[in-house]
Structure 1
Amino acid sequence: MAAKTASSAKEHKARTGEGEEVADGRPIETGVVIIGSGFSGLGMGIALKKDGRDDFVILEKAGDVGGTWRDNTYPGAACDVPTHLYSYSFEPRSNWERLWSYQPEIFNYLKEVSEKYGLGPHLRFHQVAQRGYWDDEEMRWHLWTADGQEYVAQFVVSAIGALHIPSIPEIDGIESFGGQVFHSAQWDHSVDLTGKKVAVIGTGASAIQFVPEIVDEVGQLQLYQRTPAWVLPRENVDIPPAVRRVLARVPGVRRVFRSSLYWGAEAGAYALNNRPALLKAVALLGKAHIRRQIDDKELRAKLTPDYRPGCKRLLGSNTYYRALNLAKSEVITDSIAGATAGGLVTADGRERPADVIIYGTGFHVTDSFESLSIKGKDGADLVGRFREEGPMAHRGITVADMPNAFFLLGPNTGLGHTSIVFMIESQIHYVRDAIRLVNQRGADAIMPRAEVQAAYNEDVQRRLANSVWNTGGCQSWYLDEHGNNRTLWPGYTWRYWLSTRRVRPQEFEFLARNGAGDPNARQRGVAAVGA
């Protein structure tokens, strides 16, 4: 077992956050280890607290809660789902200042929720979970962090999400570039962009937001675009104080408002999943938006996608195209061949001088699982399996041969049309039910049957086959290296909610310390082959 390197338990507590002090060199034993403190991790911790459990820790790689809403502080960072929907159902707010809230407001919300529900003593900051294994005899997980601290737990909940590892493109010669370089998720606020030549690489959701914010400040904007995005008109309106008061004081109004947002978003799932041809109207709206805001026909052509709307995430902005319509802005569609000390060189051999390079290139998504190397029952290698077969889980939460391991926002639970927080809460409910079931049956562990998981994923891929993400004519981060969509849920979220209302025992194996299939285990209500 790895020993801690801190010189004292007091120093360890100061480094890892509030909570129990432990002696140097000893593993920390607990009931549940939660990895990550974004919406998923905090929500899971709150659910355990509501169940009367205090035997859990939340490992957080950074120095505060918040996940992606802590890390992404770039100018203009905001939610692209109405915040009244993009928030916990058990902790609604009436005082959201805007319909689509900016990063500081959501970050503060998560910090306030964490404090309200007393999660402080369970948080362990600056703890980067790196590897772990399941002990078949102990029926326990052993996890290690980057600093060598070991955690031993019956249950592990991965709440690391997918949008936390920046994707940095490989550019020949970038190390020779003489200016500043950073990713939008690691925004360097010490860099003054005033009057500088700024090269932005990428045209995804982040760039759509920060480009309009910096364009007036910079001397020249170079936008390197591989594939244009569908950007629809959208005004981020303020919610007037009078409306906020009504939402807070009039019974039922806030619930009706949230419900209307939910069902309005759900309506979009039909076209995305079942009738992509209906998205032609969206294409007409997007093209009209370009015509209204872009004067030059050649530039319009560059910014008009040649794939079906929805194939990549639909974006909204009333300021993005205006920023690109300025004389100081240039949209470059030639691929980047390399970098020099003074700028970037494109495939046509042209070098454009730059003072600052900003990556707006998104995150590792389908391979984000590689950040945590874990081995399950009989040494099953999760990372190796996912690399070979693609990420797959039962209901996106549990994985065969990984006892007592739960993955929030796991494979095929992402969304392209509504709030991911809805999916998170559905999954948390499912995890709670699974843990209760283990305890009720006197078992030590639960894991899905391999054949059940395989059948579930075959059905998911079948339902995705005719969706816009599989037929829309684009290459998106929704697809893995095998060309399979391992990211998105195929359909309405209320159907996912129904499927996670309870754990079906017949879909799982229940294990006990005295061995799978042991007659004594069966007498205790535990069977290796399920109920």
Structure 2
Amino acid sequence: MIDEPEPRRQTPQELRGLVGSANIPTLLMVIYQVTRDERWLRPPYLPTRSKGLGDHDSGGLPEPVQEEIRAAGVRALLDLQDGRAPAIALPDPEQTRRMLEACVGEPVDRSYGEMFAREFRRRAGADDGPARPVRGGSDLRVLVIGAGVSGIIAAHRLERMGVSYLVVDKHDAPGGNWLDNRYPGAGVDTPSHLYSFSFAPRDWTQHFELRGELERYFADTFDRIGARPRTRFGTEVVRAEFDEGRQLWDVELRDSDGLRESISVNAIVSAVGILNRPFVPALPGLELFGGPSFHSSEWNDDLDVTGKRVAVIGSGASAMQIVPAIAPSVRGLTVFQRTPPWVAPFEKFQQPIDPGARYLLRTFPLYRTWYWLKLYWQFGDKVLDALRKDPDWPHPERAVNARNDGHREFFTQYIRDELAGREDLFGKVVPDYPPFGKRILLDNGWYRALCRPNVELVNEAVTSVVEGGVVSSSGAVHEADVLVWATGFTASRFVSSLEIIGRDGQSLREAWDDDDARAYLGVTVPGFPNLFLLGGPNSFPGSGSFMHFMEVQMRYVGRLLTCMFDLDIRAIDVRKDVFDEYAELVDRTSATTVWTHPGTDTFFRNSRGRLVFVSPFRNVEYWTRAQSAGLEDYEIVAAP
């Protein structure tokens, strides 16, 4: 996916200009790996610990030290450009951990060594798992439901395994949610290089890409992995039932014209996602409104809100992007907020990546890999460690531990600074629950938009709709020409778009008692052989890279399928005792996280209050468990 290499060798002077925009901690790791000179991992070159979620480009080092690192970086990059092998070709787990510790300026536990070493190999192009076709794989057929992020990952893995597969998707192109969410300002709040497939690096132009470029990325990747000829767009799965006698899934498909077709497959990989079923509250008078009224994920490209009065109901992730994008052009904007979000600084919002940094990321896999590892730590387990409850912490009403309380102070001061004297807003926008208790959002101009004279923040729920606007809980009528329901999705009802019937005629919805979904590693459920879920219950990272999490899951599924095919096993079903033990561990661990704090109400939990959406584990804990799990956790399903 990276563009073709530069047409000519860069001179030392040209490289010196390019490294002027390098991320110093990342460049330092390249220097050490190329030279193995220990002085680069000692003062005065060690970066300081970064604050917040920024790139920490300077490493917190004095300018003369940065200049020395840049000069050494030019020499190291010249060696790589000339084809000289680095002194450390592939760092082992302890070397990787030690180097990352130096890079991020804080301790990295030894338990992370193996995970980061393997990710280094994969992203540096040295290893992506077994490439050999599995025995008998071409004689068996796997159905992949969905061509979004998870579906692309599944197709890539199956393609490498030589397994016959079919992808079906209701859309007319790959991309999943990014095809639906077309509202103004839609984009990622994860750094672009972190929101990337390991097998498809991209020459990103912005630190946080917008929807249009992401859509192109998914389409390009889909074509390059060879999935398009094996895909049927405009097609939905209506029903799937396991035939134990034939050990096959019988699947009913429906195309965009309503025509139905039945196929049989050996296994199903569900990549249907979860944030794709819009939730709009059934309020009195909803049908009375005279103007456009729609969920944020159903924004019409032809809609022009210039000069109109717009009401945005909700203050979550979608509203956070929509409000700043339309505030300058609308006549009036009323934002209805029930619970204020915690918001972190977004220092590189819509900023282009400097051409020099783009060149380094595009041309040198070592630089690109260390930059990814640094981002992974910054947005992953570094954050998650602040989300565990400390039973001895004396102020559980405001935070879950001392570090979490530090985040509260930092974010609160940031809000005060952004509001610039608007004390009337301050009391409305500062949350009364611990930071990260709900999804943390990144500030893309939210507070400054709220300060605009044409924007009003109403700290009340909308209770009904009238012809010319909405009514809030105080009884006040708020006039509007357009209603945007930024009210989220039915996130606790996994795989709700189709009916799945397993052994003994039980439906998956019955097994989960509607919204109480559970799955071993978020992937498999007893009674549903050869059904594998990507992005199943409790398998979304609480913080970090969703793309990486889904790749970990699909590599696990790929190992299971390889064992099955190699051993000529037709069907497997996760053992009930394994499933129950894992479910108990999930609940026990969930109780230690901020997401079960009594002061929060989040889509991470179901109607019973149980955490079902995010993984309660640190990323390394989940990775280690998925890496070590295998066929021994399953029983072989024999035909009757």
Specify if TM > 0.5.
yes
Query: 162-171 or 254-263, which moves further after superposition?
Result: 162-171
Instruction: Give the Cα separation in 1 of the matches to 2:182 and 2:490.
Output: 18
Deviation of 1:205 after TM superposition, in Å, equals 0.5
Deviation of 1:416 after TM superposition, in Å, equals 2.3
Q: Which residue of structure 2 lines up, in the alignment, with residue 39 of structure 1?
A: 149
Instruction: Give the Cα separation in 2 of the matches to 1:374 and 1:339.
Output: 37
> How does 1:284-433 map onto structure 2 within 5 Å?
284-294=409-419, 295-387=421-513, 390-433=516-559
Q: Unpaired runs of 5+ in structure 1?
A: 1-28, 516-531
Instruction: Give the Cα separation in 2 of the matches to 1:199 and 1:251.
Output: 47
User: Are residues 444 and 251 of structure 1, via their aligned partners in 2, closer, same or farther at CA, if it must alter by over 3 Å?
Assistant: closer
Q: Deviations over 1:256-290 (max 9, x none)?
A: 10011112222111111355322112212221222
Q: Which residue of structure 2 lines up, in the alignment, with residue 112 of structure 1?
A: 220
Q: Deviations over 1:83-102 (max 9, x none)?
A: 11111112222x21111111
Deviation of 1:251 after TM superposition, in Å, equals 4.4
Q: Which residue of structure 2 lines up, in the alignment, with residue 17 of structure 1?
A: none
Q: Deviations over 1:14-69 (max 9, x none)?
A: xxxxxxxxxxxxxxx9711100001110110111110112x211110111110112
> How does 1:278-289 map onto structure 2 within 5 Å?
278-289=403-414
Q: Deviations over 1:142-187 (max 9, x none)?
A: 1113432222101001001111111112121110100001111111
- The alignment of Structure 1 onto Structure 2 pairs a total of residues equal to 484
Q: Which residue of structure 1 lines up, in the alignment, with residue 172 of structure 2?
A: 63
Q: Deviations over 1:352-410 (max 9, x none)?
A: 11100001111111114222211101112111121257101111101100000000011
1:330 is paired with a residue whose SS is strand
Deviation of 1:471 after TM superposition, in Å, equals 1.8
Deviation of 1:250 after TM superposition, in Å, equals 3.0
Q: Which residue of structure 1 lines up, in the alignment, with residue 244 of structure 2?
A: 136
Q: Which residue of structure 2 lines up, in the alignment, with residue 456 of structure 1?
A: 582
**Aligned partner letter, 1:256:** W
Q: Is the 8 A contact 1:433 1:503 kept in 2?
A: no
Q: Is the 8 A contact 1:30 1:151 kept in 2?
A: no
Work out which of the residue numbers 361, 368, 371 in structure 2 matches 1:254. Answer: 368
Query: 385-394 or 210-219, which moves further after superposition?
Result: 385-394
Q: Is the 8 A contact 2:587 2:611 kept in 1?
A: yes
Residue 491 of structure 1 pairs with residue 617 of structure 2? yes
Q: Which residue of structure 1 lines up, in the alignment, with residue 269 of structure 2?
A: 157
1:500 is paired with a residue whose SS is helix
**Aligned partner letter, 2:602:** S
Q: Which residue of structure 1 lines up, in the alignment, with residue 321 of structure 2?
A: 209
Work out which of the residue numbers 263, 280, 295 in structure 1 matches 2:377. Answer: 263
TM-score normalised by the chain length of structure 1: 0.88
Q: Which residue of structure 1 lines up, in the alignment, with residue 100 of structure 2?
A: none
User: Are residues 78 and 507 of structure 1, via their aligned partners in 2, closer, same or farther at CA, if it must alter by over 3 Å?
Assistant: same
Q: Which residue of structure 2 lines up, in the alignment, with residue 51 of structure 1?
A: 161
Q: Deviations over 1:233-259 (max 9, x none)?
A: 212132111111111223410011001
Q: Is the 8 A contact 2:169 2:233 kept in 1?
A: yes
Instruction: Give the Cα separation in 1 of the matches to 2:279 and 2:205.
Output: 32
Q: Is the 8 A contact 2:542 2:616 kept in 1?
A: no
**Aligned partner letter, 2:329:** E
Work out which of the residue numbers 189, 194, 208 in structure 1 matches 2:306. Answer: 194
Q: Deviations over 1:110-129 (max 9, x none)?
A: 11011111111111111111
User: Are residues 393 and 172 of structure 1, via their aligned partners in 2, closer, same or farther at CA, if it must alter by over 3 Å?
Assistant: same
**Aligned partner letter, 2:284:** D
Instruction: Give the Cα separation in 1 of the matches to 2:498 and 2:515.
Output: 17
Deviation of 1:207 after TM superposition, in Å, equals 0.6
Instruction: Give the Cα separation in 2 of the matches to 1:188 and 1:138.
Output: 46
Q: Is the 8 A contact 2:144 2:271 kept in 1?
A: yes
RMSD (Å), alpha carbons: 1.5
Q: Which residue of structure 2 lines up, in the alignment, with residue 272 of structure 1?
A: 387
**Aligned partner letter, 1:80:** D
Q: Which residue of structure 2 lines up, in the alignment, with residue 83 of structure 1?
A: 192
1:59 is paired with a residue whose SS is strand
Instruction: Give the Cα separation in 1 of the matches to 2:150 and 2:365.
Output: 29
**Aligned partner letter, 2:384:** A
Q: Is the 8 A contact 1:33 1:155 kept in 2?
A: yes
Q: Is the 8 A contact 2:313 2:462 kept in 1?
A: no
Q: Is the 8 A contact 1:396 1:411 kept in 2?
A: yes
Instruction: Give the Cα separation in 1 of the matches to 2:527 and 2:229.
Output: 32
Q: Is the 8 A contact 1:273 1:490 kept in 2?
A: no
Identity %, equivalent residues: 33
Instruction: Give the Cα separation in 2 of the matches to 1:333 and 1:231.
Output: 17
1:149 is paired with a residue whose SS is strand
Q: Unpaired runs of 5+ in structure 2?
A: 1-138, 391-399
2:424 is paired with a residue whose SS is helix
TM-score normalised by the chain length of structure 2: 0.74
Instruction: Give the Cα separation in 1 of the matches to 2:581 and 2:432.
Output: 35
Instruction: Give the Cα separation in 1 of the matches to 2:561 and 2:205.
Output: 38
Q: Which residue of structure 1 lines up, in the alignment, with residue 570 of structure 2?
A: 444
Residue 241 of structure 1 pairs with residue 317 of structure 2? no
Instruction: Give the Cα separation in 2 of the matches to 1:185 and 1:259.
Output: 32
Deviation of 1:74 after TM superposition, in Å, equals 1.2
Instruction: Give the Cα separation in 1 of the matches to 2:261 and 2:356.
Output: 51
2:235 is paired with a residue whose SS is coil
